[in-house]
C-alpha cells in the first residue's frame, strides 16, 4: 500500500501529465483547470492543493519539457558531438515534444511572466550547449543561435503549411540542419 507521501506525489505527477497532454492538444491558454483535473482523475480542489495558481502548473510543465530538451542537447554536447549532431539532437528532442512545444511558441507571448521566464530558461540552456564548442570559431554566437531558432520556430509555428499531418521536424529536420550548417560553413565555422 502506498504511503500518503507517495499518493500525493502520484497525484501531482498525474496532474502534470494530464496538463502537458491537454496543453499540447488545446493550448496553454484554452485548457481549463477543470479539464486537467478531470483528465488526471482528481477533484478540481485537489489540483489546487498541488498547484495553487494555474500559472504554477503551466510553469511546472514548461520547465519539465524544457529540462528534457536541454538535457538531450547537454548530453550530446558533453559527448563531443559536432555541431551537426548537436543540431540533430536538438531537433529530435523538440520533435519528442513537438505538439506541446509548438503551442508554447504560439502562446508564449501571451502567458504570464513566470511561464515566459521558463521559456527563456529553455532557450538559454540550449544555447549554452548548442554552441559551446563553437566559441571563437563563429563570431556573434547570439546571432547564430537566433538564426537557428528562427528557422526551426518558423517551421513549427507554420506546421499547418509545412506538414498538415504528422511531424514538421520529421519531414524537414534534415533540410533545416543542412541549410543551417551550410550557412555556418560559408562563414568559416566547422560543422
pLDDT digits (tens, 9 = 90+) for 86-145: 899 999 999 999 999 999 999 999 998 888 888 888 888 888 877 766 545 566 778 888
> Is the CB of residue 165 less than 8 Å from the CB of residue 98?
no
Report the alpha-carbon distance of residue 147 to residue 120 in Å, rounded. 16
* 79 confidence band (pLDDT: 50, 70, 90): confident
Q: How many CB atoms are located within 10 Å of the residue 127 CB?
A: 19
| Average pLDDT, rounded, for the chain | 89
> Is the CB of residue 37 less than 8 Å from the CB of residue 47?
yes
Answer with the residue of higher pLDDT: 9 or 189. Answer: 9
| CA distances (Å), origin 85, targets 39, 89, 153, 174 | 37, 6, 19, 11
Longest dimension (CA), the chain: 62
Is the predicted pLDDT of residue 188 greater than 80, yes or no? no
Fold of 53-186: Tetracycline Repressor; domain 2 (1.10.357)
Could you read off the pLDDT of 29-41 as tens digits, one per residue?
Answer: 999 999 999 999 9
Q: Give the mean pLDDT of 163-174.
A: 95
Where are the domains positioned within the chain? 1-52, 53-186
Cell digits of residue 159: 506546421
End-to-end CA distance of the chain: 54
Buried b (16+ CB within 10 A) or exposed e, 93-103: bbbebbebbbb
Report the alpha-carbon distance of residue 105 to residue 85 in Å, rounded. 24
pLDDT value, residue 83: 84
We find that the CATH architecture of domain 1-52 is Orthogonal Bundle (1.10)
Report the alpha-carbon distance of residue 72 to residue 165 in Å, rounded. 26
37: three-class secondary structure by DSSP: helix
CA dihedral sign of residues 43, 44, 46, 51 = positive
Amino acid at each position: 500500500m502506498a504511503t500518503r507521501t507517495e499518493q500525493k506525489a502520484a497525484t501531482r505527477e498525474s496532474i502534470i501529465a494530464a496538463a502537458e497532454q491537454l496543453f499540447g492538444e488545446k493550448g496553454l491558454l484554452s485548457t481549463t483547470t477543470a479539464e486537467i483535473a478531470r483528465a488526471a482523475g482528481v477533484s478540481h480542489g485537489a489540483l489546487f492543493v498541488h498547484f495553487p495558481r494555474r500559472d504554477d502548473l503551466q510553469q511546472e510543465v514548461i520547465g519539465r519539457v524544457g529540462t528534457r530538451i536541454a538535457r538531450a542537447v547537454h548530453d550530446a554536447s558533453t559527448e563531443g558531438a559536432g555541431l551537426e549532431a548537436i543540431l540533430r539532437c536538438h531537433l529530435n528532442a523538440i520533435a519528442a515534444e513537438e505538439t506541446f512545444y509548438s503551442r508554447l511558441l504560439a502562446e508564449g507571448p501571451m502567458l504570464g511572466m513566470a511561464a515566459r521566464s521558463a521559456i527563456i530558461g529553455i532557450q538559454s540552456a540550449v544555447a549554452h550547449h548548442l554552441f559551446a564548442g563553437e566559441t571563437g570559431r563563429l563570431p556573434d554566437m547570439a546571432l547564430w543561435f537566433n538564426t537557428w531558432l528562427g528557422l526551426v520556430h518558423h517551421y513549427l509555428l507554420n506546421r499547418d503549411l509545412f506538414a498538415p499531418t504528422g511531424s514538421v521536424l520529421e519531414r524537414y529536420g534534415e533540410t533545416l540542419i543542412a541549410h543551417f550548417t551550410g550557412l555556418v560553413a560559408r562563414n568559416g565555422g566547422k560543422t
